[in-house]
Structures are given as structure tokens and as C-alpha cells.
Amino acid sequence: MTGQAFFVLTALADGPRHGYGIVGEVADLSQDRVRLKIGSLYGVLDRLAAEGLIEPDREEAHDGRLRRYYRLTRHGRRALAEEAELRASTARVVRARLRLTGAEAVG
């Protein structure tokens, strides 16, 4: 799973959001390390929808334009949880290796 997809799914974990809401939430969650442009966002959303991880929730009119909201599916929630565990596990391995190599570099 790409970093962009991971953060988009995470942005939708607490409820449906529209495109601009997702972009802002991804920036917040990633501490501005992941900055989605609207064009690339819709590519990510299309891929996640094709994989059954998200689905359209509703459309609302705002300033004369329709905003489409997206939500996680059950499958998307499971995939996000699995990816979060994989990333946490990987981070533990990396930290352990850094401690080992740090000790060797000092000694």
C-alpha cells in the first residue's frame, strides 16, 4: 500500500469526507509530509474504490458544486488495520537495528 493510500484510508477512518477534506486531513495526519493535489487524489480514490476499500457515501451541493463524500468499507477498515500493524512492526525492527548499530558504532 502506498503512503498516499495509507493516509487517505486513515483520513476516512473516523467518517466520510469529501476531496478537499481528505487533502487537508492527509496533510495534518502526515505532518505535511504527504501533500496530495486534487488531480492525484482522485487517482488514489479511484484505485481504492476499485479495490473495494472505499465507496462513495453521498453528494452534497456546496457553492453550486457537488461534493462527493467517500467512506471506508469493511474491507478497507481491515486493510487499514493490517497495514498499520505492518508499519508498526517494521518500525520496531528498524528501531532495534538502529540500536544495535548505534551500540557498535559507539563501542
* Average pLDDT in the chain: 93
Q: Which sequence spans correspond to the domains of the chain? A: 3-106
Taking only the tens place, the pLDDT of each residue in 5-20 is 999 999 999 999 999 9
Q: Which amino acid is at 90?
A: T
Q: What are the tens digits of pLDDT across the range 45-104? A: 999 999 999 999 999 998 888 999 999 999 999 999 999 999 999 999 999 999 888 766
Amino acid identity, residue 29?
Answer: L
pTM: 0.88
The pLDDT value recorded for residue 38 is 87
Fold of the domain built from segment(s) 3-106: Arc Repressor Mutant, subunit A (1.10.10)
pLDDT of 22:
97
pLDDT tens track for 22-49: 999 999 999 999 999 988 999 999 999 9
**Residue 102: predicted pLDDT:** 73
Q: What is the 3-state secondary structure (H, E, C) of the chain?
A: CCHHHHHHHHHHCCCCEEHHHHHHHHHHHCCCCCCCCHHHHHHHHHHHHHCCCEEEEEEEEECCEEEEEEEECHHHHHHHHHHHHHHHHHHHHHHHHHHHHHHHHHC
